[in-house]
């Protein structure tokens, strides 16, 4: 694991590979943190006129906000109102892994772009 960014609230680490988990996040603050993301959706098959399957574009995910101490209902309502995706992590959860799927790779990249953009050169698959 390679630490990409660390402050008093959280630590972001890369696994160094693009399978299973691509990175981890460990919350260090006493209050839970809720991370909100704006995501771009694209049709799975852009050539198909009535495509029913849409996918998240990992390169276009954007960190919008980090909120402290928001309960699950507030987070869900806020995300729904603004059409954001989100996750909540607490110190008690120890750490969370970002899976190698479009959505979670997008979240991981958005955090890197926001907090430590120079570290992108250390992410081979980015």
State the pLDDT at residue 78.
Answer: 95
Contacts of 38 (CB under 8 A, 6+ apart): 61, 62, 64, 83, 84
Closest CA to 3 of 26, 34, 37, 29: 26
CB 27 within 8 A of CB 33: yes
- The rounded distance, in Å, linking the Cα atoms of 14 and 106 is 14
The per-residue b/e assignment along 104-113, b for 16 or more CB within 10 angstroms, e otherwise, is bbbbbbbbbb
State the pLDDT at residue 100.
Answer: 87
State the pLDDT at residue 9.
Answer: 95
- Token pair of 15, please? 């696994």
State the pLDDT at residue 47.
Answer: 74
- The rounded distance, in Å, linking the Cα atoms of 85 and 103 is 9
- Each residue's pLDDT expressed in tens, for the chain with a length of 126 residues: 899 999 999 999 999 877 788 999 999 999 999 999 988 776 766 676 676 666 677 778 899 999 998 999 999 999 999 989 999 999 999 899 999 888 898 999 999 999 999 998 888 777
Rounded to two decimals, the pTM is 0.85
The domain spans of the chain are 2-122
């Amino acid at each position: 694991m390679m630490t990409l960014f660390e402050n008093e609230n959280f630590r972001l680490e890369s696994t160094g590979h693009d399978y299973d988990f691509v990175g981890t996040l460990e919350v260090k603050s006493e209050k839970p943190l809720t991370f909100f993301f704006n995501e771009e959706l694209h049709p799975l098959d852009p050539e198909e006129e009535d495509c029913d399957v849409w996918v998240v574009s990992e390169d276009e995910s954007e960190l919008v906000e980090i909120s402290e101490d928001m309960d699950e209902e507030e987070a869900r309502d806020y995300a729904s109102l603004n059409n954001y995706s989100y996750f909540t992590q607490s110190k008690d959860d120890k750490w969370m892994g970002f899976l190698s799927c479009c959505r979670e790779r997008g979240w991981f990249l958005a955090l890197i772009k926001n907090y430590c953009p120079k570290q992108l050169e250390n992410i081979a698959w980015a």
